[in-house]
Structure formats: structure tokens, C-alpha cells
Amino acid sequence: MIEDLRRIVSRATDRFTRRYWGLTFRCPVCHFLLAAVDADGNALLVCPVCGVVIEIESVYGHIVPVVHDVEVFRPQPKARVHPLATHLPIGLFPFALFGAVVLFVASLVGGWGAVLGGRAPVLADATLVLLVLAVVGALPTLASGLWDWNRRYRRRPYRQITFKIAGSIVYLAVGALAIALHASGAVFSGATGLMQLGSPLGLLAGVVYLGVLAVAMVVVATLGHVGGTLVFGR
């Protein structure tokens, strides 16, 4: 089943890459995946990972990347804020999701609520705190990422970076929605700390809340993956 899931994900990723990345090729030096559309008017492109200057030649419709040079001045501070800051949302969000899932299961199975021993309200509060930290923590991550793009990549267009900026905005929006749902009291009962799955409205609120968290999890994991390729290469 995991194999099937992996195949579905990889097929969807391939289709998306073809659509959004367009014609792609690999950097001849570090093998990082590059999009031909990111080249400038002179068909030149600087690899964001290894910094070589590549000229894209088209031979019978095939892309032939020719390495000309290595970018001479490349700001490369040893400890960059962005890759460090990114661990705040990526590190904390899964725990917020875990807390929400435990509370959902406890609310679903009557006996399980007792296992928490009346500590469900504490767990619900802890989940909210983690959620707020994971979403608010994405703000310095986005800001330092934009700073890096400005300084290190000189605002050159890279498919990976525009994708990450768009994805961060989606994550912030979806994360804010999850916080609003949690804090509104529509999902969790203040008295028991459990989801009110017995009533149709409570069930709807619980399902929407979990769905929103799942979307945010997929988005933040994808952002982390794409960001990782910019740090570690392909």
C-alpha cells in the first residue's frame, strides 16, 4: 500500500514539475534540477547550488547545458538564518498535528478519553501553543528566506524559490485558519477538552480542523523538501 501511495505521489510530482518547471535539465556539475525558463535573455543561468554559470544551448530541441564560469562573488555565510529558522515550523508542526490526532481518537472512542485521565484540556492547550509557535515561527523563516534570495541569489528567478514563496504564503494562511478554528472553541469543548463529535456541527468542525492541519502538514513538508534540495543539492 505504501508502494502504491509512493507511486501516486511521484506521478503527481512528475506531472506538476513538467507543468510548472517546463523544460528541465540537470546542472552538469552538481546535477541539480534546473528549469530552462529561469535562464535570462542571454540564455544564461547560475546554478543556485554550486554557482556555475551555464549557457543553455538548444540542439535539435534538446537542451545542452554548457558551463562557462563559476560565479565569482557569492555571499555564503557559514550560518545562514533561513535553514536554521525553518526548523521551528517544520520541527513543531508535526507535534501539533500529533496532539490533534490523539485528541480526535480520544473523542471518537469513548473509553480512550478516560485514558487521558481528564488531561484532555491540557493537551488541547498544548496543541494550540505548538500550532501558534509553528505558524508564527514561519514568519521569520519566510523573511530570512526572502533576505537570502535577495542577497545570495540576487533575486534571480528560480522555480524552486518562487514555489517556496507561494507555498509559505499558503502555509501561513492555512495555519492561521487552523489556529482560528482551534481558538474559536468550535472544535474543542472547554470543559472536557475533547472534540464534540456527537453533534453534526461539532463533527463538521473537527473534520475541517483535521483536514486543514493535514493540508498544512503536506505543504510544510514539501517546502522543507524543496528547501533541502537548495541546501544539499539533488
Task: Give the interface with Zn ion as residue ranges (CB under 5 A).
Answer: 27, 29-30, 32, 47, 49-50
How far is Cα 62 from Cα 111, in angstroms, rounded to an integer? 63
Contact (Cβ atoms closer than 8 angstroms) between residue 165 and residue 207: no
The least distance separating Zn ion from the CB of residue 61, rounded to whole angstroms, comes to: 23
In 45-185, which ranges are continuous DSSP H helix?
A: 81-85, 87-108, 110-115, 120-136, 138-151, 159-184
Nearer to Zn ion, 47 or 100 (CB): 47
Nearer to Zn ion, 50 or 179 (CB): 50
Nearer to Zn ion, 29 or 44 (CB): 29
Contact (Cβ atoms closer than 8 angstroms) between residue 181 and residue 209: yes
How far is Cα 145 from Cα 12, in angstroms, rounded to an integer? 26
Q: Which residues, in sequence order, are bridge partners of residue 33?
A: 26
Q: Which residues, in sequence order, are bridge partners of residue 45?
A: 54
Nearer to Zn ion, 49 or 172 (CB): 49
The least distance separating Zn ion from the CB of residue 54, rounded to whole angstroms, comes to: 8
The least distance separating Zn ion from the CB of residue 53, rounded to whole angstroms, comes to: 10
The least distance separating Zn ion from the CB of residue 151, rounded to whole angstroms, comes to: 19
Nearer to Zn ion, 65 or 113 (CB): 65
How far is Cα 37 from Cα 33, in angstroms, rounded to an integer? 12
How far is Cα 134 from Cα 9, in angstroms, rounded to an integer? 25
The least distance separating Zn ion from the CB of residue 32, rounded to whole angstroms, comes to: 5
Rg (CA), the chain: 22
